[in-house]
Amino acid sequence: MTYLVLIAAAMVAVLMLHLHAGIVAAIMLAVIVIAHLILDQRVCLHCGEQWSGRGRGA
35 is a domain residue: yes
Angle among Cα 36, 37, 43 to the nearest 5 degrees reads 20
Give the pLDDT confidence score for residue 58 in this predicted structure: 43
Residue 57 counted as domain residue: no
The pTM of the whole model exceeds 0.85:
no
38 inside domain: yes
Where in the sequence is the domain holding 15, given as residue range(s)? 2-52
Helices 21-38/2-15 angle, 10° precision: 160
**Residue 58 lies inside a defined structural domain of this protein:** no
Which pLDDT tens digit goes with each residue over 1-43? 777 888 899 999 999 999 999 999 999 999 888 877 887 767 7
Q: How many domains does the chain have?
A: 1
Contact 41, 52 (CB under 8 A): yes
Question: Quick check: is 12 in a domain?
Answer: yes
